């Protein structure tokens, strides 16, 4: 991959993870590149329609073009047509947030969700974000199917978040992460309480294609711990496993 292409992709990834427009100098610092080089690449990305500038201060932000392309790609796989009614049905039955995450290039990204309107607390994280693997039920559901060495390599790439970033039960060391992963393997599913976020319980199962192919995604249910206790969450497991099996028969990617 050429240096210019790599830097252009790095710019897109940086802007995607930044909630507000970024000035040129900050982008250059993050990329450890000369401002003149970054400015040239931003101009190319802007001309192609992937990047826009704030009219008030000329800071840079992503346009909707990448999101649009992603949605078009997903629609062509047939995922949403089959998965969304299934997620809606699960949300109606459980009363909690249900999410579908897919794995690509050793990253777990939530691509669809369903929730019902109800009174009281509601947990609703942003879709389209890469899931933190070390402290989520979804991360456990995927990684429990790998060896310790494979799981550590993937988690190390993402990195353990600084203390206080997530909930009080989030693993702070590699040893704690491996201990949580060992427990997840014994259970056969992912579970976290006050780990990804204080006051949140989540449970997740892997989506495993036929013929023992690698895990392609996860199905997760999450909600406030005051309402979604571990005991209640585990009553959803039979339904989750059944729906995960149904999803496993979908051609999630054209290459499968």
Whether the Cβ atoms of residue 135 and residue 150 lie closer than 8 Å to each other: no
- The more confident residue out of 162 and 100 is 100
Confidence of residue 255 (pLDDT cuts 50, 70, 90): very low
What is the full DSSP assignment across the chain?
--HHHHHHHHHHHHHHT-SS-B-HHHHHHHHT--HHHHHHHHHHHHHTTSEEE-TTT--EEE-SHHHHHHHHHHHHHTHHHHHHHHHHHHHHHH-SEEEEEEEETTEEEEEEEE----SS----PPTTPBPPSTT-HHHHHHHTTS-HHHHHHHHHHH-PPPTTSS-TTS--SHHHHHHHHHHHHHHTSEEEESSSSTTEEEEEEEE--GGGPPP-EEEEEEEETTTS-HHHHHHTHHHHHHHHHHHHTS--STT-
Domain ranges of the chain: 3-63, 69-248
Domain 3-63 identical in fold to domain 69-248: no
Mean pLDDT of the chain: 85
Range 21-41 average pLDDT = 93
Q: Which residues does 157 contact at the CB level (< 8 Å), separation at least 6? A: 106
Which of the two residues, 124 and 113, has the higher pLDDT score? 113
CATH code linked to domain 3-63: 1.10.10.10
The per-residue pLDDT for 104 is: 78
The answer to whether residue 251 scores a pLDDT higher than 50 is no
pLDDT at 120 over 50: no
- The CATH fold assigned to 69-248 is Beta-Lactamase (3.30.450)
């Amino acid at each position: 991959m050429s240096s210019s292409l790599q830097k252009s992709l790095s710019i897109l990834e940086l802007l995607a993870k930044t909630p507000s427009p970024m000035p040129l100098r900050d982008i250059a610092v993050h990329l450890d590149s000369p401002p003149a080089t970054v400015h040239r690449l931003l101009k190319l990305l802007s001309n192609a329609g992937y990047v826009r500038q704030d009219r008030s201060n000329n800071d840079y932000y992503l346009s909707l073009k990448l999101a649009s392309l992603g949605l078009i790609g997903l629609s062509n796989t047939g995922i949403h047509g089959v998965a969304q009614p299934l997620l809606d049905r699960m949300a109606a039955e459980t009363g909690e947030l249900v999410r579908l995450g897919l794995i690509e290039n050793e990253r777990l990204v939530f691509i669809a969700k369903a929730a019902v309107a109800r009174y009281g607390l509601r947990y609703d994280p942003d879709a389209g974000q890469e899931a933190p693997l070390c402290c989520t039920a979804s991360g456990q559901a995927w990684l429990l199917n790998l060896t310790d060495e494979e799981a550590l390599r993937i988690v190390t790439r993402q990195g353990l978040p600084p203390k206080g970033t997530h909930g009080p039960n989030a693993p702070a060391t590699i040893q704690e992460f491996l201990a949580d992963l060992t427990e997840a393997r014994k259970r056969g599913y992912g579970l976290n309480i006050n780990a990804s976020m204080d006051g949140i319980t989540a449970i997740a199962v892997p989506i495993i294609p036929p013929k023992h192919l690698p895990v392609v995604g996860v199905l997760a249910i999450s909600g406030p711990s005051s309402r979604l206790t571990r005991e209640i969450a585990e009553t959803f497991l039979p339904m989750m496993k059944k729906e995960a099996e149904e999803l496993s028969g979908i051609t999630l990617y054209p290459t499968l």
